[in-house]
Structure 1
Amino acid sequence: MSNGHATVLVVDDEVRSIEAIQRVLSDEFEVIGARNAREAEAVLEGELVQVILCDQRMPGESGVDFLKRVRELWPDTIRIIISGYTDSDDIIEGVNNAGIFQYITKPWSPEKLIDCVRESANLWRLQHEAGDVRVEVKPAAEMLQKVVSDRRRSEQQLFGFDRIIHTEDSPLISSITLAKRAARYDVSVLITGASGTGKELLARAVHHGSGRADRPFVVENCGALPDDLLESELFGCKKGAYTGAYQDRIGLFELADSGTIFLDEIGETSPAFQVKLLRVLQEGEIRPLGAQRPRKVNVRVISATNRDLLAEVAAGRFRRDLYYRLAAFPIHMPSLKERSMDIPTIAARFLTQTNQAFNRQVAGFHPKTLDLMTAYGWPGNVRELQNEIQRMVVLSDGSQPLEPGLLSPEIRNGCDGQVGNRNNGSRQLKDIVAEIERAAIEESLERHGGNISHTAEELGLSRVGLRSKIERYDLRRYPDDTTE
């Protein structure tokens, strides 16, 4: 969130003191006044407050005592003491027991007060971006700034457009070209395509190629939660707003303020939730569940779906007005089957990553393995290809290229038609598959000393099916059950 949207609670028994602070801060912050701890707690129950400015000397309860309770009940709120006294014991107690971030003495200067509140609001934002870390001293704020900055630089390197793998003749090029153009303008983007095609990767590239690149990028899978939890996740909630809401929760829209939110599987949302989301997009504000007032947010929305949303609109399952809000700039991600020329390049990248992750040194792919992978349909798209390569590396021994026998049975057996032979291009796929299957069975039998059960389990076959293939490929020298 930007500092200009932060809510500041001023707690002081002197009305003139509250009014003076409101005049100084009101241009940049939403300022709420409370004359005692009871009024302040009522505000905290109904509003998401980022910063508290509390007078130390108040009738009935000191500022430090009040902020101790705030620390327990609303630990995210940044706490500041204002006092006309410079009692060192008060300062020490405030820092140690109430987690005070700053101690401001009266009379305060407007410039220093604004700077202090700006820093506090920024700290509140940083602690949420860094993973809900509790921050209570100034050195931690500097540490968090470095953590967040380093994370963003790393993300920009990992998720730029140049990290989307493709060849020069890939149909993915047109999608990337459109995405690069969309990134330069603050428009809503709808990314369509089958599951596993890399829609989130493209969304991240759009964000990191935009003017919002140094602000948050947050993700929500809209198909994974029921309406009430999804609303809480996106818009936030106050403690007690519903059963299980044990504490205030900042919504992802507010966390993404000035940045980008990626709403995956948007087509899975209910009509009731679509109405609420439409209002957020139209008004540019969210209302946390249980909160008394809405909060302004400035967020770019990128959404994605594997559904045909126009067909869903025609069927009455998706709101037409919401569709046009989300799909100001639609981009389609082609399936891996449509871009089979990219498979060897993608597979090489995944193998490098898997070698690093698993501390292996597998030396590439056997040519026939690449032939089979290129011919396969990949219904799970890029995600399925990545999983397959990880599986092959786990099953492989040593650093030799990955043999065809390590492929999953559905990939070895699920291809039809021709596979171009790398020598003369004339051999039929079924002959290659048979040769690959025979070699895989023989290799597995040797590895397991002829044990039928272990071999069948590794190859994904039944024992009866394995024996049938042993007979077909004339591998009779292996015993049937004597080694089991």
Structure 2
Amino acid sequence: MAQPATVLVIDDEVRSLEALKRVLADEFEVLVARSTEEATAVLAGEMVQVILCDQRMPGETGIAFLKRVREQWPDPVRIVISGYTDSEDIIQGVNEAGIYQYITKPWHPDHLLDRVREAADLYRMQHEAVGASEVKPSPARLNALVDARRKAERGLYEFDRIVHERSSPVAGVVALARRATRYDISVLITGESGTGKELLARAIHYGSGRTERRFVVENCGALPDELLESELFGCKKGAFTGAYQDRIGLFEEADGGTIFLDEIGETSPSFQVKLLRVLQEGEIRPLGAQRPRKVDVRVVAATNRDLLAEVAAGRFRRDLYYRLAAFPVHMPALRDRAVDIPAIAARLLDDINRNFHRRVAGFAPETLAAFADYAWPGNVRELANEIQRMVALSDSDEPLGTDLLSPGFRQQPASAAPAGSGAALRDRIEALERAAIEETMRRHAGNISRAADELGLSRVGLRAKIERYAVSREARDG
């Protein structure tokens, strides 16, 4: 496994330094400095791939410091953070210092993390290119490498990545969702947990005219109202306890792009009113702000609840439902698309082989038959966990046999599957989800970001589930 990149963070304010380190520490080795003098000493003794520097500091600005760094240590990819506007002086200084990214305050954690990831990737690609040619690549070449990386990411989420056979009910779902890409309307994706609702939402985004802008995700069931509003709409410093600085919300972060609101059925009536206003007016009002801000965002929402039943019961607003469900799409449960299981299992095994550095040669016929007979209360997510466990238990690269199946799997044939989504099924799914979170956290040694990526959750959403399910301290600490 590749070593994490080393990031040097420079900021004279202790609170800002701590906030930046907290965002980056799960994925990177983070070094800190409270002055340019400290930063110079760090650079003299450490190999650093990315420098993240505040602009406004006593004695010397971030841009002035990074100009000096460029002359002495040209390799690290440089990012500057500033609350200043994009004046001509600032832009010229950014160019002279060879700064890769210019991030404005208030920054959003996910946005900042994405930019640092891109910078670390750029450093790696730059050095791979130098190693191959012994000539330092031009800025145009580096930009081409970054563009290629972004195109490759988009390729991961195209409709063709949704595995299904021609006779599968998912074929009709994909055909329907493709039509949604042509029109800028809200989409509501329904279906049980683990059926691939977020994958479908990403395909809709990357197949639409908004593909060049951001796709952001929020799990609406993971946060109390005040924090959810802050996450989505932003906040001003002091708007509530713990709001230590201005914060850009995900709606503003997704301006021009798409926001995916997962578990929308878990939101409270009071929050639903505020979300309805955003959808009606096309503007957000950050907590504590005096004026609203216009945003152009496409909303794709998802739920595992029957929202019309929730409307009838008075738990979900009818007007909000019709705003969200302008284009409804339903993802079928895995047990209702058994024809797809062999192809899905093969795709999952390819990914697991790559991650585990293994070459397991598929599945024994009786294993695929057992897969077809199983109820799959956890859907594709449960299938992935089962295959991952089987590979880990296997001592060879021979096809995986039924002897490697988990005991709980063998005790639950498809005939035992409940007709509806009652409390018993919900309890079983939650137990599976808790086990999956614990297993994933252990495997990633407690690294929240990597575990969240694998589980298809945001960092905030995973933290909320860890608290909700009381995930063991052993799993959290790795």
What TM-score do you get using the length of structure 1 for normalisation?
0.60
Please tell me whether the aligned partners of residues 363 and 401 of structure 1 are also in contact (alpha carbons under 8 angstroms): yes
Match of 2:327 among 303, 326, 329: 329
Write the deviation string for residues 402-424 of structure 1: whole angstroms up to 9, x where unpaired.
01011111322322679xxxxxx
Cα pair distance change 1:78/1:218, threshold 3 Å: farther
Cα pair distance change 1:298/1:237, threshold 3 Å: same
Cα pair distance change 1:278/1:190, threshold 3 Å: same
**What does 1:10-89 correspond to in 2, within 5 Å?**
none
Runs of at least 4 residues of structure 1 off by over 6 A? 75-79, 88-91, 93-103, 139-148
**What does 1:250-399 correspond to in 2, within 5 Å?**
250-399=248-397
**What does 1:74-473 correspond to in 2, within 5 Å?**
92=64, 104=88, 123-124=102-103, 129=111, 131=113, 133=115, 149-415=147-413
CA-CA distance at 1:248 after TM superposition? 1.7
Please tell me whether the aligned partners of residues 373 and 411 of structure 1 are also in contact (alpha carbons under 8 angstroms): no
CA-CA distance at 1:123 after TM superposition? 4.2
Partners of 1:90 and 1:334 in 2: how far apart?
53
Please tell me whether the aligned partners of residues 91 and 103 of structure 1 are also in contact (alpha carbons under 8 angstroms): no
Tell me the residue number matched to 2:449.
Answer: none
3-state SS, counterpart of residue 260 of structure 2: strand
- One-letter identity of the residue aligned with 1:223: G
CA-CA distance at 1:239 after TM superposition? 1.6
Partners of 2:194 and 2:313 in 1: how far apart?
26
Write the deviation string for residues 10-34 of structure 1: whole angstroms up to 9, x where unpaired.
xxxxxxxxxxxxxxxxxxxxxxxxx
Partners of 2:183 and 2:403 in 1: how far apart?
49
Partners of 2:236 and 2:146 in 1: how far apart?
26
- One-letter identity of the residue aligned with 1:279: R
Partners of 2:258 and 2:142 in 1: how far apart?
20
Question: Percent identity at matched positions?
Answer: 63
Partners of 1:349 and 1:93 in 2: how far apart?
48
Gap runs ≥5 in structure 1: 1-74, 80-87, 106-111, 419-484
3-state SS, counterpart of residue 279 of structure 1: helix
Please tell me whether the aligned partners of residues 180 and 327 of structure 2 are also in contact (alpha carbons under 8 angstroms): yes
CA-CA distance at 1:217 after TM superposition? 0.1
Cα pair distance change 1:183/1:292, threshold 3 Å: same
Worse-matched range after superposition: 356-365 or 240-249: 240-249
CA-CA distance at 1:96 after TM superposition? 7.8
Cα pair distance change 1:91/1:235, threshold 3 Å: closer
Gap runs ≥5 in structure 2: 1-51, 70-79, 124-138, 417-478
Please tell me whether the aligned partners of residues 265 and 304 of structure 1 are also in contact (alpha carbons under 8 angstroms): yes
Tell me the residue number matched to 2:461.
Answer: none
Partners of 1:253 and 1:91 in 2: how far apart?
30
Cα pair distance change 1:94/1:159, threshold 3 Å: closer
3-state SS, counterpart of residue 210 of structure 2: coil
Cα pair distance change 1:404/1:290, threshold 3 Å: same
Partners of 1:218 and 1:322 in 2: how far apart?
21
Tell me the residue number matched to 1:109.
Answer: none
3-state SS, counterpart of residue 131 of structure 1: helix
Please tell me whether the aligned partners of residues 130 and 144 of structure 1 are also in contact (alpha carbons under 8 angstroms): no
Partners of 2:198 and 2:62 in 1: how far apart?
51
Cα pair distance change 1:285/1:404, threshold 3 Å: same
Cα pair distance change 1:150/1:373, threshold 3 Å: same
Q: State the structure with more CA Rg.
A: 1
Cα pair distance change 1:144/1:255, threshold 3 Å: farther
Partners of 2:201 and 2:414 in 1: how far apart?
34
Cα pair distance change 1:94/1:358, threshold 3 Å: closer
CA-CA distance at 1:154 after TM superposition? 2.4
Partners of 1:392 and 1:268 in 2: how far apart?
34
Cα pair distance change 1:201/1:144, threshold 3 Å: farther
Q: What is the count of residue pairs matched by the alignment?
A: 324
CA-CA distance at 1:91 after TM superposition? 9.2
Please tell me whether the aligned partners of residues 78 and 124 of structure 1 are also in contact (alpha carbons under 8 angstroms): no
- One-letter identity of the residue aligned with 1:253: F
Write the deviation string for residues 34-62 of structure 1: whole angstroms up to 9, x where unpaired.
xxxxxxxxxxxxxxxxxxxxxxxxxxxxx
CA-CA distance at 1:155 after TM superposition? 2.4
What TM-score do you get using the length of structure 2 for normalisation?
0.61
Please tell me whether the aligned partners of residues 234 and 250 of structure 2 are also in contact (alpha carbons under 8 angstroms): yes
CA-CA distance at 1:247 after TM superposition? 1.8
- One-letter identity of the residue aligned with 1:166: H
3-state SS, counterpart of residue 350 of structure 1: helix
Write the deviation string for residues 256-285 of structure 1: whole angstroms up to 9, x where unpaired.
000000000000000000000001111111
CA-CA distance at 1:241 after TM superposition? 1.2
CA-CA distance at 1:245 after TM superposition? 1.2
Cα pair distance change 1:364/1:269, threshold 3 Å: same
